[in-house]
């Protein structure tokens, strides 16, 4: 595990050194460390790059770390990680990805994650993305998350991409059975010439299933953001999607939510708002002694918290 990986691990997973319990650390398309725990087994795939993470029944409040780091230019990393979560298990998955470039060539991480969440299982999924380094090569992260949530299962996704990623396309697909739930909280900030695309698609197939998608973003500089969400209500279910974006400088933001109700007891709601920071908020903080830049930073911090 090289020094850059050590630094990135702290940024994306809050780790200093190797964690206790189950983990798999991916460094420049190779495995830089792996450990199983009593309840969680991690197995190398044999047909393609990636791992299977098998969380056994009886797992309670355990955390598994599977960060991926790219530490130089000219890496194009593609990985398939599958999560098998047994009935009734309760687990936290800390994913996250850091891409560091010093050179002129682009580096990219493309992680395709599939979750098979058993009956009444509960997964918290934390995914932080970051780009670092002074290279002109683009830092690209394109995550795909595909979820099948069985009866009574719950997936809580918490994703954040606050700095350094030049281009990202974030695709999430989910199918929910009876009484299953999916909660997503997304935070994105882009600046310079960065671009970020979010694309959620949720099928509410089971009676009593529900989803709550909330995206908050800040677009600065000349950056571009596109938020898409599609919720299909195919049963008695409830769905809510919300997209709030702060636009600054010469940025461009699009929000395209899509609701489709195919059942009389599907209740679907969407809200979206795009606007700049209110002038009064800045003036108020400036009267408390902050400079304009400090006031702006404070408001953005609060918005993305």
Which spans of this chain sit near a second copy (rule: CB under 8 A)?
233, 245, 247-262, 264-276
Instruction: Pick between residue 271 and residue 292 the one whose CB is nearest to a second copy.
Output: 271
Percent helix, strand, coil in the chain, to 5, is 10, 55, 30
Token pair in block for residue 35: 């450990």
Rounded CA gap, 141 and 131, in Å?
9
Nearer to a second copy, 117 or 235 (CB): 235
Q: Hunting for tokens 């792996």 — which residue is that?
A: 34
CA–CA dist 131, 126 (Å, integer): 17
The SS3 call for residue 91 is strand
Work out how close the CB of 232 gets to a second copy at its nearest, in angstroms, rounded to a whole number: 9
Judged by beta carbon, residue 1 or residue 261, the one nearer a second copy is: 261
Angstrom distance (rounded) from CA 151 to CA 238? 15
Using the 8-state DSSP alphabet, how is residue 101 labeled? -
Question: Which residue's CB is nearer to a second copy, number 63 or number 190?
Answer: 190
Distance in angstroms (rounded) separating the CA atoms of residues 135 and 166: 12
* Distance of closest approach, residue 139 Cβ to a second copy, in angstroms: 25
Write down the least CB distance from residue 249 to a second copy, Å: 6
CB of 184 to a second copy, least distance (A): 18
Q: How far is the CB of 279 from a second copy (least distance, A)?
A: 10
Report whether 67 contacts 7 (CB < 8 A).
no
For a second copy, the closer of residues 60 and 276 by Cβ is: 276
71 neighbors 42 (Cβ within 8 angstroms): no
Please state the closest distance from residue 278 (CB atom) to a second copy, in A.
Answer: 10
Please say which residue, 78 or 261, places its beta carbon nearer to a second copy.
261
Q: Which is nearer to a second copy, 274 or 286 (CB)?
A: 274
Q: How far is the CB of 129 from a second copy (least distance, A)?
A: 24
Strand-strand pairing, 40-44 and 50-55: antiparallel
CA pseudo-torsion sign 152, 156, 248, 131 = negative
Distance CA 273, CA 303 (A): 13
């Amino acid at each position: 595990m090289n020094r850059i990986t050590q630094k990135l691990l702290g940024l994306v997973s809050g780790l200093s050194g190797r964690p206790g319990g189950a983990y798999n650390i991916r460094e420049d398309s190779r495995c830089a460390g792996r450990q199983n725990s009593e309840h969680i087994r991690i197995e190398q795939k044999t047909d393609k790059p990636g791992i299977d993470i098998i969380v056994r029944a009886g797992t309670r409040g355990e955390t598994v770390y599977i960060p991926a780091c790219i530490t130089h230019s000219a890496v194009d990393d593609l990985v398939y990680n599958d999560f098998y979560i047994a009935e009734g298990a309760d687990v936290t998955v800390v994913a996250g990805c850091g891409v560091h470039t010093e050179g002129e060539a682009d580096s990219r991480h493309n992680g395709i994650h599939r979750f098979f969440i058993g009956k009444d299982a509960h997964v918290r999924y934390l995914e932080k993305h970051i780009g670092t380094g002074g290279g002109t090569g683009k830092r690209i992260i394109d995550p795909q998350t595909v979820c099948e949530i069985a009866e009574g299962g719950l997936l809580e996704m918490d994703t954040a991409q606050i700095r350094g990623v030049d281009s990202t396309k974030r695709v999430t697909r989910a199918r929910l059975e009876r009484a299953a739930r999916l909660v997503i909280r997304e935070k994105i900030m882009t600046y310079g010439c960065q671009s970020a695309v979010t694309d959620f698609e949720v099928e509410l197939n089971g009676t009593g299933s529900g989803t709550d998608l909330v995206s908050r973003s800040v677009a600065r500089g000349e950056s571009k953001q596109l938020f898409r969400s599609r919720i299909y209500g195919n049963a008695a279910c409830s769905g809510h999607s919300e997209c709030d974006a702060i636009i600054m400088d010469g940025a461009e933001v699009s929000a395209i939510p899509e609701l489709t109700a195919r059942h009389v007891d599907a209740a679907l709601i969407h809200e979206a708002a795009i606007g700049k920071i209110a002038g009064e908020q800045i003036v108020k903080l400036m009267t408390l002694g902050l400079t304009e830049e400090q006031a702006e930073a404070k408001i953005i911090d609060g918005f993305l918290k």
